[in-house]
Amino acid sequence: MSDPSNDDAPAPDADGDTSDVSDASETEAPPTPEEQQEIDDAVRRGRVELLAAVLLGLAGALTAFSAYKAALTDGDALAGYTESSKSTSDANSYYDDYSQTYLSDQQMFLEFNLAAVEDETLAQTIRERYFSPELEAATEVWGELPDDETPPTPLDLDEYVVESLTDYEETSALAEEQFEEGATADAAGDKFELANVFFAVSLFMAGVAALFRKHPVRYFALGLSLISMVPGILSMIDGQSALG
């Protein structure tokens, strides 16, 4: 008896392989409109987050630099004001010395004049013993002037020069210069601090941009963040220009 043939068995190929000759091809179905919408939203959200990250980094760097410059200028302002105060105190001390010298010389010259009327020897003694070098130098010039050109006292002549008065004028001028330097640094520091306000607004708008659901609102927030940087940068430029 012969074995019955199996009609359901696959026919062997040329190599004797009994597997299917061709594999079933698999194709992916296109995304549904809802899935496509989610993909588009994800792409847009990624763009917003990237732009927000760039703006946050830029605004953060500008804020740090502006705060650093503000700290420097505030320190310069404080130093200028402190030095000006010290110089003003020194100038006042010099002026007090000048005032005392002037009043003393004025009194000595008055006594010299009164003594010269009655006792020339006493007048000469007062002049030799009690006249300051400044008063003596001015008195020599005063005594040689014609009567119509002679001022009431030698103290009214340009030759009467008291060193403490010169020191007062120089120190007073230095105090004003130091005060101006401090005021300039203070004004520049205010500019840098104002820039920080604009950069803070920029940071805030860039930070909240990704929180909105609607893309137009997100881009609007990013635009505001970028726009807020402009006056901050201009304020920094003004502050740097004020420093010279």
Alpha carbon distance 102, 13 (integer Å):
132
Residue 27 pLDDT greater than 90, yes or no: no
In percent, the amount of the chain with pLDDT more than 70 equals 83
Q: DSSP secondary-structure letter at 189?
A: H
Q: How far is CA 157 from CA 124, 137, 141, 153, in A?
A: 21, 10, 8, 8
- Report d(CA 81, CA 75) in Å as an integer: 10
Whether the pLDDT of residue 10 is over 60: the answer is no
Q: Residue ranges of the domains in the chain?
A: 58-243
> In this predicted model, which residue has the larger pLDDT, 193 or 10?
193
pLDDT tens-digit readout, 64-118? 999 999 999 999 999 999 999 999 999 999 999 999 999 999 999 999 988 988 8
pLDDT at 80: 93
pTM of the predicted structure, to 2 decimals: 0.68
Question: What confidence tens digit (pLDDT) does each residue in 130-180 have?
Answer: 899 999 999 999 888 887 778 888 998 988 999 999 999 999 999 999 999
Instruction: Using the predicted structure, report yes or no on whether residue 1 has a pLDDT greater than 70.
Output: no
pLDDT band per the 50, 70, 90 thresholds, residue 24? very low
**Ramachandran bin of 16, using left for φ above 0, alpha for ψ from -120 to 50, beta for the remaining angles:** left
Does 19 score more than 50 pLDDT?
Answer: no
Q: Are 111 and 126 in contact (CB under 8 A)?
A: yes
Helix, strand, coil fractions of the chain, as percent rounded to 5: 80, 0, 20
Q: Which two tokens stand for residue 88?
A: 């003003």
3-state secondary structure of 119: coil
